[in-house]
């Protein structure tokens, strides 16, 4: 089929800022699609106009029903960077589409602030929870954030204050590239602006207070970063476990017997596209998992509140599986290994003799390596300091060939 759908990025300068090809696509469309702001930039000429719907899937369906007739979707900036182009590309073949981007809000913001684009982390809070910020908060880091509306900067400032980043510097860039462009700056702790436009991009230079907990992007967060009831894979063992699981962008982890969810959460923090399912039978721990996922910036963690292996049926096939506690449930190893994709990794930890025996037996069946992890921490003993050993952990790591 010929290309009937055009997705054209526009700036605040409207039609005047489009190149010849983009203008031709806009002018040749029978149906124009966009927000009220986009459509107001075009002269009224009697053509059909569709605006955004809630949910957006309703509008995508309307666009698909016009397949074969010229349709032009107007987007802000780059349609493929947190834009409508991403949504449409999931439903409509690329062979039917022409995508013409304009400079993104992130590119424009870097140009205004003099920030190198390659060194800036980006995210959107449009229709997403503020908790996503928590995965990005690190001293000295620069962030660019697409705002939901005029209230987003104030909400972000309050969030930064409550998480030990009140000294961070904020810049709000409104209507970039248009006549109403404006930049407002201040610190999170002193932020009081309430006269902002809905169309704004937020720039953050992260400055941590002394009391802020350092949450590095590599596995092995401090144990105190998690709320737990004692069922926690300790920091050092967790770092070794994540190294064996080998997180890969876009891949899915099953965390079976998740406890407080520490392994699944650290997996998700390795890359924004990583996915994880935490399976936990104890009802009291489900809230711990949800609270920890939110506090550590990965609220999209999927939680299954029932006992394995029965609860594993029907779940998407994983690229990696972590089994804590030695996997004592009958049939658990078999079900996890069966579901694991070829090339997937299975890692299991045990601290009891019975659990270690199961790992040795399973290794005899599928191969892999066994490792013993012995950790000692220095602690006070009376008026002196001595070593206190943690429970020795036996770890099986196997790859499904």
Residue ranges covered by each domain of the chain: 5-102, 106-205, 223-399
Q: What are the residues facing 50 on neighbouring strands?
A: 33
| Nearest Cα to Cα of residue 251 among 235, 260, 264, 232 | 264
For the cut 70, the answer to whether the pLDDT of residue 326 exceeds it is no
Taking 3-state DSSP, the helix, strand and coil percentages for the chain, each rounded to the nearest 5, stand at 30, 25, 45
Range in 177-181, 230-234, 326-330 the model is least confident about: 326-330
pTM of the model as a whole:
0.90
Across the beta sheet with 97-100, the strand order is 48-50, 31-33, 71-76, 5-10, 97-100
| pLDDT tens-digit map of 131-171 | 999 999 999 999 999 999 999 999 999 999 999 999 999 99
369's CB contacts (< 8 A; 6+ apart) are 363, 396, 397, 398
Cβ atoms < 10 Å from Cβ of 343 = 10
Which of 360, 358, 350 has its CA nearest to residue 324? 350
Quickly count: other Cβ atoms within 10 Å of residue 17's Cβ. 17
1 pLDDT band (50/70/90 cuts)?
A: low
pLDDT tens readout for residues 35-58: 999 999 999 999 999 999 989 999
- Give me the pLDDT at residue 212, please: 86
CATH architecture for the domain at 106-205: 2-Layer Sandwich (3.30)
Q: What CA–CA distances, in Å, run from 316 to 174, 253, 276, 321, 322?
A: 42, 10, 10, 12, 15
pLDDT at 216: 86
Q: What is the spatial order of strands in the sheet that 142-146 belongs to? A: 121-124, 142-146, 200-205, 169-174, 182-187
What is the tens place of the pLDDT at every residue in 338-365?
999 999 999 999 999 999 999 999 999 9
Alpha-carbon torsion, ordered 317, 323, 326, 329, to 10 deg: -50
The percentage of the chain sitting over the pLDDT mark of 70, rounded to a whole number, equals 100
Tokens coding 354: 């019975």
CATH assignment of 223-399? 3.40.50.150
- And the tokens for 249? 């962008």
Mean pLDDT of the chain: 95
Confidence label for 214 from pLDDT (cuts 50, 70 and 90): confident
Report the number of secondary-structure helices (H) and strands (E) in the chain: 11, 19
User: In the structure, what pLDDT confidence band is assigned to residue 217 with cuts at 50, 70 and 90?
Assistant: confident
Is 111 in a helix, a strand, or coil? Answer: helix
Beta carbons within 10 angstroms of residue 366's beta carbon: 15
Q: Does domain 5-102 have CATH number 3.40.1010.10?
A: yes
């Amino acid at each position: 089929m010929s290309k009937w759908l055009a997705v054209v990025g526009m700036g605040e300068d409207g039609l005047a800022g489009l190149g010849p090809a983009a203008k031709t696509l806009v002018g040749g469309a029978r149906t124009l699609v966009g927000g009220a702001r986009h459509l107001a930039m075009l002269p009224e000429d009697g053509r059909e106009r569709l605006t955004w719907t809630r949910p957006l899937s309703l509008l995508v369906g309307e666009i698909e029903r016009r397949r074969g007739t010229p349709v032009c979707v107007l987007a802000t900036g780059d349609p493929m960077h947190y834009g409508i182009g991403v949504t449409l590309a999931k439903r409509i073949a690329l062979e039917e589409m022409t995508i013409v981007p304009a400079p993104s809000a992130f590119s424009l913001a870097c140009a205004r602030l003099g920030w190198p684009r390659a060194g800036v982390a980006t995210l959107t809070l449009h229709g997403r929870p503020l908790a996503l910020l928590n995965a990005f908060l690190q001293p000295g880091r620069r962030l660019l954030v697409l705002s939901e509306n005029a209230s987003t900067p104030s909400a972000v400032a309050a969030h930064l204050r409550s998480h030990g980043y009140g000294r961070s510097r904020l810049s709000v860039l409104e209507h970039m590239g248009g006549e109403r462009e404006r930049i407002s700056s201040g610190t999170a702790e002193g932020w009081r602006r309430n006269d902002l436009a809905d169309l704004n991009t937020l720039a953050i230079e992260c400055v941590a207070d002394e009391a802020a907990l350092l949450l590095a992007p590599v596995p092995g967060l401090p144990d105190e970063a998690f709320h737990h009831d004692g069922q926690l894979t300790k920091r050092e063992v967790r770092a070794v476990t994540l190294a064996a699981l080998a997180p890969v962008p876009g891949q899915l982890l099953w965390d079976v017997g998740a406890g407080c969810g520490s392994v699944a959460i650290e997996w998700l923090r390795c890359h924004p596209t990583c996915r994880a399912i935490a399976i936990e039978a104890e009802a009291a721990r489900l809230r711990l998992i949800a609270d920890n996922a939110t506090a550590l910036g990965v609220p999209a963690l999927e939680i299954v509140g029932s006992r394995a292996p029965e609860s594993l049926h029907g779940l998407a096939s994983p690229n990696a599986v972590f089994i804590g506690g030695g996997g004592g449930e009958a049939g658990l190893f078999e079900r996890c290994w069966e579901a694991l994709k070829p090339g997937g990794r299975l890692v299991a930890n045990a601290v009891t003799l019975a659990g270690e025996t199961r790992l040795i037996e399973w290794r005899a069946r599928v191969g892999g390596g066994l490792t013993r992890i012995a950790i000692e921490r220095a602690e006070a003993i009376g008026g002196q300091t001595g070593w206190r050993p943690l429970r020795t952990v036996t770890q099986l790591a196997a790859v499904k060939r």
